[in-house]
A = this chain, B = another copy of it.
């Protein structure tokens, strides 16, 4: 049934309350609410500027728990910005994959199935915002980078996913895209 596959290069969590930047761990445990301890964990979250149909701040179903980027698309953003690299940590990614073409264009509703049966649902493109741009500007100490990040990352910034089946995702896992 698998249309294609990819490899999990690394898994990461945002456990530090003051930043969305993630750090690598050997595996991530996936619950219905996301990754326990991660910044985006929760069954509910406050509506923000992306959900204009709800008043800002009211609690709505959280379907943006897991952020995934691809190694190839991060390289492409770096090329566009003339930088040696864009680390997925700086984008707040939880999973970095390789070997899958055009991850960011994956359609809403696609299923990502991991070796132990863990299942994620693609909820669509993670629209670029200025936060990671500010991190990158600070790291490279190059004024104006934060503004350049948003257009450079368009259609390359990866996807957000919600959880369909709980389990564990580890470095080296193969993902089947269904």
Contacts and interface: CB of A to CB of B under 8 A. Distances in A.
B61 A117 contact: no
B109 A54 contact: no
Interface string A45-73: 00100001111001111000000000000
Nearest to A55: B117
Contacts of A165: 47, 54, 58-61
A164 B119 CA distance: 20
Contact of A53 (B1, B32, B43, B60): B1
A53 B54 CA distance: 33
A61 B44 contact: no
A164 B61 contact: yes
Interface residues of A, number: 26
A127 to B, nearest CB: 16
Interface of A: 1, 32, 43-44, 47, 52-55, 58-61, 108-109, 111, 113, 117, 119, 121, 162-166, 178
Given A53-B113, A61-B164, 17 more contacts: A1-B52, A1-B53, A32-B43, A47-B165, A53-B119, A54-B117, A55-B117, A58-B165, A59-B165, A59-B166, A60-B119, A60-B164, A61-B121, A61-B162, A61-B163, A61-B165, A109-B109
